[in-house]
Amino acid sequence: MLNKFMKRGHRKSKSESNDNAGFGLGPGNVTVNHASRTTFNSAVANSESQNVTSSQAPPLNPGGVIEILPFLRDVSVSERSALFLRKLKVCWVQCDFSDTLKGVREKEIKRQTLLELVDFIQAGSCKLNETMQEELIRMVSVNVFRCLPPAAHENTGSEAAGDPEDDEPYLEPSWPHLQIVYEILLRYLVSSETDTKIAKRYIDHVFVLKLLELFDSEDPREREYLKTILHRIYGKFMVHRPFVRKAINNIFYRFIFETERHCGIAELLEILGSIINGFALPMKEEHKLFLSRALIPLHKPKCIAVYHQPLSYCITQFVEKDYKLADSVIRGLLKYWPVTNCQKEVLFLGELEEVLEATQSAEFQRCMIPLFRQIGRCLNSPHFQVAERALYFWNNEHIVSLIAQNRNVILPLIFEALEKNIRGHWNQAVNGLTGNVQRMFRDMDSELFEECEREYLEKETKARDLEERRELTWKRLEDVAAQAPREDNMVWVN
């Protein structure tokens, strides 16, 4: 509760400090470098602020109030371009949403103007010339590109990334305007009237990079819009595709190896899932490096549960595209296998099953020994969900067929774990599933099963004899110590 209070209080003071006079033109060139957030390039910020000059100020009447402009549908076609530009400049005005009673009229004028622009672009009644497109992208930049408020852990000083279920998500106060601005950008991108050759001059690498920065917003509504918009940009502008992939890689690297805190990893992975699905074969070396250097290490952070579903989909897509990658993927999972986090272990087992479904026999044989050593440890886990999830592997027909083909190697690796479960696991469901697995192996190859059982009993007998000898040795030491003179501190044992 204290964390929520500090979080909301800090956010409110920040939004108040963003607006000195109630309204202002665009974001300035002041950036704040929070621990888990990257900042825009200062030169880019300076150039952005220089673009908004006094000659481009919004239309205000002598009293300093926004002028109400006529509707675009009410003027002639020849006047629409000029009126469209004036309406864009009206939308440059930044409203103060920290106080709901402040600037109500101006907020409503801007909202209605933005809605009119959405309808105008969607209708396609007037083709946007280059100047109109330039000013449109500038208006979008002024409204959406901003410094994000500090995350909850930066206000409270908490070490670990917060669980999204333990705290309410922060909702952007300016969303009533921000949502419509995003809608304008989305309509512009999907419009058949948009000329890609002209649009790419203004939706450039700097614009894309700033857009990616906003994925760290805590507002899930904003991240959903950003996901859709970035996906459209990736599909429409082929020239930006390598840059987008590289920029996303850099976000992942910083998240994995530095901060382990970012709000938009799941959304970025959802975009990548559809991108990976479209990779051509044979797969480029660049894409394989992305798998090994970014996607597999994403299993390392503690907060993997937040983004595991899209991550698992991306990994599976790679294996389905190129089955030869299965060995490296499985070994990567084993490398980052959790030791003390049982919930994370259950996620790994689920993902491992999906990967094994797409694995061919040759790749399976390369990694089956370390794989089933780990599965054996999972079978003996005192956490029943981990043991149960590992036993569910034998419900998958493809995995069972792979195991049956290599039973001479696999059964000796896990036979001891199965026996320990039968003899001593506390959970009855795990006992029942273990018995089913044993019967399955016995039906596959009864001679092999009996041989493993005999070896296990011999091993148990040797271990029991060793333990008895140890006990006997300690008993002899105790007897010798009891018979030795008290003044003699030295005990000699032959």
- Express each pLDDT in 30-64 by its tens digit: 333 343 454 444 444 444 444 444 345 555 554 44
39 secondary structure, DSSP code: -
State how far the Cα of 89 lies from the Cα of 69, in Å rounded to an integer: 11
Position 254 scores a pLDDT of 96
pTM equals 0.81
pLDDT at 140 over 90: yes
State how far the Cα of 135 lies from the Cα of 224, in Å rounded to an integer: 25
pLDDT in tens, 151-189: 765 555 454 444 544 467 789 999 999 999 999 999 999
Position 6 scores a pLDDT of 45
State how far the Cα of 443 lies from the Cα of 440, in Å rounded to an integer: 5
Position 42 scores a pLDDT of 40
Average pLDDT over residues 91-118: 90
The domains of the chain are located at 360-481
pLDDT at 224 over 90: yes
Mean pLDDT of the chain: 85
The CA dihedral of 95, 101, 106, 108, to the nearest 10 degrees, is 100
- C-alpha pair distances (Å), 395 with each of 161, 193, 392, 405, 440: 35, 53, 5, 16, 11
Position 31 scores a pLDDT of 32
The pLDDT-based confidence of 250 (bands split at 50, 70, 90) is very high
pLDDT in tens, 430-480: 999 999 999 999 999 999 999 999 999 999 999 999 999 999 999 999 988
State how far the Cα of 107 lies from the Cα of 88, in Å rounded to an integer: 15
Position 23 scores a pLDDT of 33
Q: Identify the residue whose tokens are 């209708």.
A: 123
More reliable by pLDDT, 354 or 46: 354
Average pLDDT over residues 365-374: 97
The pLDDT-based confidence of 67 (bands split at 50, 70, 90) is confident
